[in-house]
Chain A
Amino acid sequence: MKKKVIALLLATTMVFGLSACGGGGNNNQGGDNQSQSSTEGTDDADEGSGSSSGEKILSVQIGPDPETIDPALNSAVDGGNMLLHNFECLLTIDQEGQLAEGQAETWETSEDGLTWTFHLRDGLKWSDGSDLTANDFVYSWKRVCDPEVAAPYAETVLGMVEGYEKAIDGDLDALQVVAEDDQTLVVTLSTPCTYFGSLAAFATLSPVQEATIEANGDGWATKAETYISNGSFYVSEWVPGSHILMSKNPNYWNADAIKLDGIKFNLIEDANASYSAYQSGEVLMIKDVPTEEIPSLEGNDDYYVDPIIGTYYLSLNLNREPFTDKNVRKALSLAIDRDYVANTLMQGTYSPASNFMGPGWIDTDGTEFVENANGGKPYIDTENFEGNLEEAKKLLADAGYKDGEGLPSITYTTNDSGYHKVVAEYLQEAWAEIGVDLKVDIVEWQSFTPMRRNGEYDTARNGWVGDYSDPSNMLDLLCTTNGNNDGKFSNAEYDKAMEESRSTLDPEERSKALHKAEDILMEEAGCVPVAYYNDFWLQSDKITGSWHSPYGYWHFMYADIAE
């Protein structure tokens, strides 16, 4: 009797179980699907290198859902990677990191450096096939200044354009960006800006189509159908939280050079999930690699580490004792074993920082800024930690705190993500060596940012990843009035050097001024550089023709998939 009951119960369970499965997909054939699953499973696993219809779709992972892919609104690097493939600015940055033509074929600067003229290519088109003219750039750049749009990068990219101050208050037509004809764009600056070319290649200044924005408002950049672009690819499908599928833009001027039919950006948020997807072959390139896997990946051909322009540094609150004393600041800086931090604690995903400005920043003559700094020598010899430590102890004694005696206990404030906590624990240990008692305060990110900005800390984690490769992008941070000057470093000489770099048109003089600024910063220990940022990622050797730039961008537009 009981057996019968159990058998019946089990039977019902199975029936329900099957019908429940049916509700999920569009299969109602029950058991039949079971036999197909294994063969289909292997098909799916090959998805990374193309779809069944013979189209060449590259499947990659750069990050989770971007907050926005409106060029004017974006301020994040993952959004920037999307924009890079969807839009093309007047100019572009080539594989060597040099300025190259984009939508503009040629460009010139007036002798006083104030007038920039860009000549657009013939027959430029939007992804919907309509014509793109210089007027579209005028509209787009004015839109960036629109207070209603509230573009976070407005001041960075257009602050030096004549009429910007009026435009940002609402009088958009005051902005001196003029279309002389359909193919000529003239920009008048209020102060010379030798690196304006880099800004003309900056994603915020991408052209956007007036028609779609007028028709769809802010929502234009949230749906594939209304997201009109002008780059090598256009968004053909966007399922937020799942994927962004981009298709080759046949209207792009250089469409013949594009080999892929599409790129699928998988919006995977979890590093373990993206690693699984990479291992299964569903995705051919992943940016989010689980850090615990790094030791086993090092040395593999498909594991890449490449510098990006940016430095992980510590802010010392210069308004508080004892950081007002230069010797204390220098001692704290020298007591850090940067080689150990970058290569051991951070597993080589960072590089030890001997300067404030690391690799990737371009000097005025096109060479690496870091190579020319401090007469070609590093400011801090990261390979001689023992010597540095001795020097640190001596400096602290000079400041009147021999072996840390008399020094008040200080606090290090950081948020908890990535390696921040490990670094905090290390600092506690390292500074104890010179007699400094350090307390660590871990704060949630959203609370951390305003705390740091308002100077409510002793020492704090900080970092900057550059927007464009002109050194002023990072050196500006330490100017007295800069909004990102969290340590409140204020040095008249430094400000003067930076002012000089802004006003001069002579590349050599400008380079000198910029290097002088870094010299002062490092001599004064205005902040404590610890490590240079790198990108590290996994990429299958099936991908050919792609490159990674120090901006943190992966260029897949000219990539191909080897069979």
Chain B
Amino acid sequence: MLKYIAKRIGLAVVTVWAVATLTFFLMNMVPGGPFLSEKAISPQATAALEAKYGLDKPLFQQYLTYIGGAVQGDFGDSLKQRGRTVTEIILMKFPVSARVGGISVLVALTLGIPLGCIAALKRGKFLDSLISVVATCGIAVPSFVICTVLLYTFGAKLKLLPTVGLTSWKNYIMPVMALSFYPTAYIMRLMRSSMLDVLGQDYMRTAKAKGVSGFVSLFKHALRNAILPVVTYVGPMLAYTVTGSFVVEKIFTIPGLGGEFIGAINGRDYTLIMGTTIFLATLIIVMNVVVDIVYKIVDPRIKLK
């Protein structure tokens, strides 16, 4: 197990390095730059800015400087939000996204798994059809539509929920609903199909024949096997959700990390593009390792090599 984790970490470092390198050169190939504005700033000012942030150096040297700093944990200063370091921005905004995203994932799991099970157990019945319809809607409707409908209904018309910021617990309700809709639907569908699969297995029939109660067979035998696909999905999903959604954060004015991903690219804020990309890549890799370990716990037959 330890050996496995060590191996995965080694691999992760290489992956993150590859992602960082690719991103660095790709973003520099895109036209534009961080110091462009509709009104031309004087050549002296541009030159001074480029000198200050080392953008006047040859690209490969910039790359070496960046990687050198990143290895020591220095991700540089943001080029657009002057006076803030990239680390500062991520540390300030990630917890907000993580809180909203984390709650959404919890909601998705606590709703999706039971509802998926129910749909499987009630296969072909009315409840199953109802859940399927809801699940299909959840997957098909884009989040900005959900956000706008929620905002219009509960914010502007009924005036039940606050629409701006994250000042009280009530502010969380609409973003969490919007964020958890898709994963809930997805988990429901995953759970339903894998549960159906498991319920048809021989060992379930054997358990029933042996006189194991329905409750025990469901929780001890069926759920444990059926949940594996959900675990696979939850890992990366968690990484994406806790780093924030651009759309949801924009519409509900949530000071999270989601907007920074897009904002950094649109503004050619090179250091922030690098910082957020490396952060997300690392998080996804970590989640995948965690998923593997959870696999092992859920299903001891799986061997980690």
Show the binding face of A for B, using Cβ within 8 Å: 1-2, 4-6, 8-10, 12-13, 16-17, 20-21, 23-27, 33, 37-38, 40-42, 44-45, 47, 67-68, 70, 73, 75, 147-148, 150-155, 168-169, 217-222, 239-243, 266-270, 272-273, 275-277, 279-283, 444-447, 449-451, 453, 463-464, 483-484
Contacts and interface: CB of A to CB of B under 8 A. Distances in A.
Nearest to B152: A276
B102 A23 contact: yes
A20 B52 contact: no
B130 interface: no
Given A37-B170, A41-B160, A148-B48, 4 more contacts: A23-B103, A68-B83, A273-B251, A483-B43
Given A25-B169, A269-B250, A276-B152, A20 B106 contact: yes
A272 B156 CA distance: 10
B41 to A, nearest CB: 4
Interface size class of chain B, counting residues whose CB lies under 8 Å from the partner chain: 35 or more
27 contacts: A4-B215, A10-B114, A13-B114, A13-B115, A23-B106, A42-B159, A45-B159, A73-B82, A151-B45, A154-B42, A155-B42, A217-B83, A241-B253, A242-B164, A266-B253, A267-B253, A268-B164, A273-B252, A276-B156, A276-B163, A280-B162, A446-B31, A447-B31, A447-B32, A451-B31, A483-B40, A484-B40
Contacts of B162: 41, 44-45, 47, 280, 282
Nearest to A281: B159
A25 B172 contact: yes
Contacts of B80: 67
Interface string B120-146: 010000000000000000000000000
Interface in B143-180: 148, 151-152, 155-157, 159-166, 168-170, 172, 176
A492 B166 CA distance: 58
B253 A240 contact: no
Contacts of A40: 168, 170
Interface stretch (B254-262, B281-289, B294-302): B254-262
B84 interface: yes
A450 B31 contact: yes
Interface of B: 30-33, 36-46, 48-49, 51-52, 77, 80-84, 92-93, 99-100, 102-103, 106-107, 109-111, 114-115, 117-118, 121, 148, 151-152, 155-157, 159-166, 168-170, 172, 176, 213-215, 218, 249-256, 259, 266-268
Contacts of A450: 31-33, 36
Given A75-B41, A280-B159, A241 B107 contact: no
Contact of B259 (A27, A241, A266, A449): A241
Contacts of A21: 103, 169, 172
A41 B170 contact: yes
Contacts of B268: 446
A272 B151 contact: yes
Residue with the highest number of chain B CB atoms closer than 10 Å, among A218, A241, A270, A272: A241
